Structure 1
């Protein structure tokens, strides 16, 4: 008993120390030398994420590599210098994220020259003013005793390629189409890429309980409202017939004669993770809201941060789950969700994000919706 108590105290002290150093700013223990060591662990410029620790590592070197890798160019020297300062701040931020989230890898991504505010404005887009209606249909409780240990809809052909929303806060539309693509696959046996641009241009569905809270193109929206629009409008066109432009300045070009998928019904899934898994396996990929604070610096691995807010600001697609991935600190296997994102295949693990189950981390269990499709000819 005494040894167990001592272990608990030691673990608590370690976590407290990590929190203090993670939120203390740039002056982490050990100064610049310690920062350099940690940066070596989190910066991703090598093949498969590997880093040559014998190479000269400094902010200038990383910024030059970052510009080459992601094709970055700036119009003026003033803009270049400002982006370099933002990049340096984000390298320090990646170090802090690595401490708080040691089972993932954090480092340089295509978003490393953006401030957190710019990142939220350009690449997120769950409209926080919108919330699930109080009368939202609840998904029926499903049996969970025979769930597979691991499951991934990519292995069953129900997930389209990773798409890229660009600098438009339209993540909600990609989450919506991803869920309906999977549901349509289950109904028809065919995987068809559906049009996010139709939702961006044509969907202005509003929350009846909150005035002026509507789906708003690149300014954000909500997946359940988009399902409601799709149900009322008759369905969604294919991507090839209504291609994505990444802007909400165009007129609605919806053509009813080219509908490729129709919504039969949709419902909200319980916060219970076994019910989420059961609905995923039975009904196809699920539309999910998440807090994306750790995603700006995410490179790979299973994200399992010690602490993460549950305020939802990003729409993604839940496509599967895994039985366990090693989480250091906690010293045990942790099951995780497999998330399809909409920032292109060069982000994260080929466009995917893994986040551990168990504590509704980053609100991943808070807004989960399932949709059923009508069989169409």
Structure 2
């Protein structure tokens, strides 16, 4: 989630040093990402076209996948084939994107959401300020902060629902780069371990490590705590742990954050002016 794309963001924050954020879109009603399961005859024919057994064997070898029983193996093979069909459909719908086998290919969409997506329902605090409307007349057609050195390498949250923490640090890494000229990888684990800030307007909406969180809460935590350490000083474990925050090793701070309009041109303008925008997305 460390990569942030203008066209993928649905709801955004900008923070100053100046970071930004966005909420996840549910795939529940999106027909483009539903499972595509043909009838039995079609399925057998398509399995042959997909060469599913070969791909499943390669998948198991590459990602060291093992299953306790034959029943579990056969179930996972069935899920894998369904995901191959879905990837094939997506490739037809959007040839510009790359669709294929990943380490998640033996999981159903529901299992993936349950295990890896930790974004909680998002509500904005009353004091959250709105970003000013920016001019959009001369926006570039293409713009990528990766090419300008403002985005760190891809990170892996593992089997921890900490996407919210990666979204927060990714935005702040870009903002810190724009403010200082230095690209620093920041600590998601600090947020997982130490950030337990709650939204005062939503009972129970508290950041809770691998059990999920909210980016606006995380920005509030960073404001209150005084900053975030470097990744190398507080490395990621992908597990809930005891807070080990050392304020003497703060690498980046936030002075404020604001809500960006849902208008795509405003998102583009904020991206160009304020730096990488963070987004929480359901990607299957």
What is the number of equivalent residue pairs in this alignment?
A: 253
Secondary structure of the residue aligned to 1:230 is: helix
How do residues 284-303 of structure 1 correspond to structure 2 at under 5 angstroms?
A: 284-290=275-281, 292=282, 295-296=283-284
Query: In the aligned structure 2, how far is the partner of 1:78 from the partner of 1:225?
Result: 43
Matched, 1:269 2:281: no
How many Å separate the matches in 1 of 2:261 and 2:192?
28
Report the CA distance between 1:283 and its aligned residue.
0.9
Residue 26 of structure 1 contacts residue 92 of structure 1 at CA under 8 Å; is this kept in 2?
A: no
SS of equivalent to 1:267: strand
Pick aligned residue for 1:33 from 26, 45, 52: 45
Greater share of residues in strand: 1
Aligned to 1:229: 221
Q: 1:260 aligns with which of 228, 251, 265?
A: 251
> What SS does structure 1 have at the residue aligned with 2:254?
strand
Q: Aligned with 2:251: secondary structure?
A: strand
Matches of 2:104 and 2:83 in 1, distance apart? 9
SS at match of 2:160: coil
> Which whole-Å deviations, capped at 9, do the CAs of 1:67-120 have from their partners, x for residues lacking one?
122222334444333322322232233344445555534332211111222211
> Is 1:137 equivalent to 2:149 in the alignment?
no
Which consecutive unaligned segments of at least 5 residues does structure 2 have? 1-30
* Worse overlay, 25-34 or 236-245: 25-34
112, 115, 123: which one aligns with 2:116: 123
* Distance in 1 between residues matched to 2:280 and 2:57, nearest whole Å: 34
In the other structure, the counterpart of 1:368 is none
CA distance in 2, matches of 1:280, 1:189: 17
Check 1:170–1:82 CA distance in 2 against 1; reply closer, same or farther (3 A cut). same
Counterpart residue number, 1:218: 210
Q: Work out the CA distance in 2 between the residues paired with 1:239 and 1:24.
A: 40
- Larger RCO, structure (CA 8 Å, separation 6 or more): 2
For 1:82 and 1:23, locate their aligned partners in 2 and report how far apart those are by CA, in whole Å: 15
* Contact kept? 2:35, 2:82, Cα under 8 Å: no
The structure having more radius of gyration, on CA atoms, is 1
For structure 1, the 5+ residue unaligned runs are 1-18, 40-56, 297-377
Correspondence for 1:88: 81
Q: Name the CA distance, whole Å, in 1 between partners of 2:81 and 2:150.
A: 40
2:270 corresponds to 1:279? yes
In 2: Cα distance, 1:82 partner to 1:245 partner: 30
Residues 169/24 of structure 1: CA separation in 2 closer, same or farther (3 Å cut): closer
Normalising by structure 1, we get a TM-score of 0.62
2 CA distance for matches of 1:93 and 1:24?
6
Conservation of the 8 A alpha-carbon contact between 1:207 and 1:213: yes
Q: CA RMSD in A?
A: 2.4
| 1:12-38 deviations in Å (ceiling 9; x for gaps) | xxxxxxx79x7773229956335644x
User: Residues 110 and 90 from structure 1, CA distance in 2 versus in 1: closer, same or farther, beyond 3 angstroms?
Assistant: same
User: 2-side partners of 1:243 and 1:107: how far apart?
Assistant: 30
Matched, 1:70 2:63: yes
**Contact (CA 8 Å) 2:47, 2:81: kept in 1 or not?**
no
Distance in 2 between residues matched to 1:261 and 1:24, nearest whole Å: 45
Q: Is the 8 A contact 2:37 2:82 kept in 1?
A: no
